[in-house]
Amino acid sequence: MAWAKKILRVNLTDGSIASEPLNMEWAQAYLGQRGLATRYLVEEVDPKCDPLGADNKVIMATGPLTGTMASTGGRYSVITKSPLTGTVACSNSGGFIGAEMKMAGWDMIIFEGKAASPVYLHVENDNAKLLPADQLWGKSVWETDELIHKIHQDPQIRIACIGRAAEAGCLYSAVINDLHRAAGRSGVGAVLASKNLKAVAVRGTLGVGNIKDPKRFMQSTGEQKQVLAENAVTGQGLPAFGTQVLMNVINEIGAMPTRNMREVKFEGAHKISAEAMAEPRKSDSKPNLTTNAGCFACTIACGRISTIDKGHFSVENKPQYWGNSGGLEYEAAWALGSDTGIDDLDALTYANFLCNEDGFDPISFGATVAAAMEMFEQGVITTEDTGGIEFKFGSAEALCKAAEITAAGEGFGKDLGMGSKRMCEKYGRPELSMTVKGQEFPAYDPRGIQGMGLTYATSNRGACHLRSYTVASEVLGIPEKTDPLATEGKPGLVKAFQDATAAFDSSGLCIFTSFAWTLDNVAPQLDASCEGDWTAERLVEVGERIWNLERDFNNKAGFTAKDDTLPKRFFTEPANTGPAEGKVSGVEQMLPEYYDLRGWTPDGEVTTQTRDRLDLPS
């Protein structure tokens, strides 16, 4: 079974809390987490609603394998309509709170309405209560975590909460759990803030049982852990270097977006890479990286735990930042570093700590700072707009200050908190915003890795690398090598990755397992634990259904084929160096074939035929 088969529904407007049975018919069609919660969202939320209004809902959802011994089986997602993009949002996080929700007996928590004053939800198994959070409002994530543990005198509570950035209206604010794991993208934190919901604190002691065939499950999860251990990426690269293993690789192939994505290679990459994180520093001969860390049940353990040099200008008088916290992942190192032209590892780590401490997405933040730097360079904004900060490419001081004012929502930090699309529009230069559907790009240049261009253009939550990570194929050769500069065959590749990823994201497992696993490795674990017959083919179908359900929501929210595109820069400014030199993105050539493979109209609408084939709701 693996599902707890129970949903906790919390109405913030009237304060009522109810337990509901999980819709098992939907669970068979949409599996769990991303897929299943989206099915609930589609049923209950008007796609045209104001994302920050009381009509929007926010769902915290686990998958059937969350809380089990399957490797990486600790994921949870936050599903809502995004205030950053206006599309469906699904932000996935690891850490421990997802498993704790399941241990408490819940597959999902659905929040609806809006509380009159700040509240937090405290869940102890069957017992769930909304409690006043006036004393927590205005506090950072780290302070909130400490206070809630103190209030309940229980060190074992797991907490997800928002920080000051969300309260200040930052449109890419995150929901942070376990101090430094993030449901990071698309501004899901701002939705919690709009509902006056500060935190969710969970303690579960019931455990996860009801495995369909326990013996087969233990055997299968054991075998699949072995596959992860023996794979070069999941068994060696990720534990040793984290996702930062990519920094030098991507830079070398000329696909490292640099200085607001004008260039494709960063000369300072080696100073902010995994190798640099492991290098002992002069002041105390300790490296930036203290250790690697695993999320719940994860046998890969790619997480970075790091410190900042105590003598660095950002923290020299701030002992509160001298300890360890979640350190740089590749995406953060790229956005805070390469995209801004900054090669100061400690400054990047400090900015990343602030993103953890006050809950905002380092990708969108770094990319927005990069856009501000380009506007500053062009004289569109000056120190008068920025409150005296010199937003120069390469300025570590500017980055650190920018993080501080964005965390607090002060001064120019309000503009930065809008995200680059709105900020660039405000100053009359919308073309300088490197976004799709309002969400900032991640760390792969679509000129140098053509499949990623199509990935960004068609992602259901705006620019995102986690919706179809074709880098695996185009750069790393997983499951087979394709030419990163070619557009031929990419529509099919992107579709296949999108569908498979949707299934991974709905299972409770981490997408990083897919460096070693395909759905053939996932299916036996699901089949041994969940009701029904689960094969890889069925999971592909579930993934495709989820993709179309999300697309349909976006279409109903007003998005059309016109929105499936990239900023002008990628069509008019060819890559300046490296293997992709002279190349622009071929997205426009790939889209018609992609729509056709999807069974959509040339306008990107889901056809009746496709709808019937996948049994989508009307």
Partner 1 sequence: MLKSLHISPDKCTGCLQCELACSYENEGVFNPAKSRIKVFTFHQEGRFVPYTCTQCDEAWCMQACPVDAIVVNTATGSKDVLADVCVGCKVCTIACPFGTVNYSQDTGKVIKCDLCGGNPQCVEACPTAAITYVDADATGLDRMRAWAGKTDNAATARA
Residues that bind partner 1 (CB under 8 A): 67-69, 71, 96, 103, 156, 179, 204-209, 214, 218, 225, 229, 239, 290-299, 301, 303, 305-307, 323-325
d(CA 544, CA 224): 24
Identity of the residue, 73 or 113, whose beta carbon is nearer to partner 1 in the bound complex: 73
Identity of the residue, 217 or 570, whose beta carbon is nearer to partner 1 in the bound complex: 217
Identity of the residue, 175 or 297, whose beta carbon is nearer to partner 1 in the bound complex: 297
Identity of the residue, 293 or 523, whose beta carbon is nearer to partner 1 in the bound complex: 293
Identity of the residue, 100 or 564, whose beta carbon is nearer to partner 1 in the bound complex: 100
Residue 205 C-beta: closest distance to partner 1, Å: 4
Residue 103 C-beta: closest distance to partner 1, Å: 6
Residue 378 C-beta: closest distance to partner 1, Å: 42
CB 85 within 8 A of CB 186: yes
d(CA 547, CA 42): 13
Residue 240 C-beta: closest distance to partner 1, Å: 12
Identity of the residue, 287 or 489, whose beta carbon is nearer to partner 1 in the bound complex: 287
d(CA 508, CA 2): 10
DSSP single-letter state for residue 10: E
Residue 366 C-beta: closest distance to partner 1, Å: 24
| Relative orientation angle of helices 362-377 and 396-408, to the nearest 10 degrees | 120
d(CA 440, CA 472): 21
How far are the Cα atoms of 54, 112, 162, 419 from residue 14, in angstroms, in the given order? 12, 10, 22, 33
CB 521 within 8 A of CB 227: yes
Query: Which residues are registered as beta bridge partners of 201?
Result: 122, 159
Residue 596's contacts (CB-CB under 8 Å, 6 or more residues apart) are none
Residue 20's contacts (CB-CB under 8 Å, 6 or more residues apart) are 6, 7, 8, 9
SS3 300: coil
Identity of the residue, 299 or 482, whose beta carbon is nearer to partner 1 in the bound complex: 299
Residue 220 C-beta: closest distance to partner 1, Å: 14
d(CA 613, CA 617): 11
SS3 547: helix
Residue 523 C-beta: closest distance to partner 1, Å: 20
CB 463 within 8 A of CB 331: no
122: its two tokens: 């405290």
Residue 298 C-beta: closest distance to partner 1, Å: 5
Identity of the residue, 207 or 477, whose beta carbon is nearer to partner 1 in the bound complex: 207
Task: Kindly tell me the burial class for residue 410, based on how many C-beta atoms sit within 10 Å of its own C-beta (0-12, 13-18, 19 or more).
Answer: middle
323: its two tokens: 């300890």
Identity of the residue, 209 or 388, whose beta carbon is nearer to partner 1 in the bound complex: 209
449: its two tokens: 């890795």
Residue 172 C-beta: closest distance to partner 1, Å: 25
d(CA 24, CA 4): 11
